[in-house]
Amino acid sequence: MLLRDILHAKGAAVHTVSPDATLAEVVHRLVEHNCGSLVVCEPADSMQMVGIITERDILRACAAGRMPLTAHTVRECMTCNVVTGSPSQPVEETMGVLTAKRIRHMPIVEQNRLVGIISIGDVVKAQHDELTMENHYLKNYLLG
């Protein structure tokens, strides 16, 4: 299975934020969209990715005493070196990258265009669905 297959099922929506937004805005957006990361784009309404910010970065900012969250910006806390994937990448390989780099979110890029985002939850679900299906067919084959 490829990342393209997951994106076909879940869609290409990517929630984004400007580097000049405050951390308080990030918290609101994460809760509003029920997700764990926002891709940072500049200019704000473009799909020009300049970083990623996740709930982990917010937690780190809190632990570092960067309060109030309305006084600090995404730019201060985002990760600029974004690890990206491609739609033609196998799901198993992606699980290896996410685990090795200890990240849970991977923006997907094709021909320099942001075409979606995959979370570790999406990868686990895809692998679980595939194994369930395989198990079903194997049982049918064995039991007739």
Spatial CB neighbours of 19, under 8 Å, sequence gap ≥ 6: 40, 42, 50, 51, 73, 74, 75, 78
Smallest distance from the beta carbon of 58 to ligand AMP, in angstroms? 9
Q: Is 11 left (phi over 0), alpha (psi -120 to 50) or beta?
A: left
Which residue's CB is nearer to ligand AMP, number 27 or number 131?
A: 27
Residue closest to ligand AMP (Cβ): 54
Pick out residues in 92-121 that bind ligand AMP (CB under 6 A): 103-106
105 sits in which H/E element:
strand 105-110
CB nearer to ligand AMP: pick between 106 and 126: 106
Closest to ligand AMP by CB, 1 or 120: 120
Residue 16 sits in the site that holds ligand AMP (CB under 6 A): no
| Segment 67 to 96, residues that bind ligand AMP, using CB under 6 A | 79, 81-83
CB 40 within 8 A of CB 53: yes
Nearest-angstrom CA–CA distance, 108 and 77: 21
Query: Among residues 2 and 120, whose Cβ is nearest to ligand AMP?
Result: 120
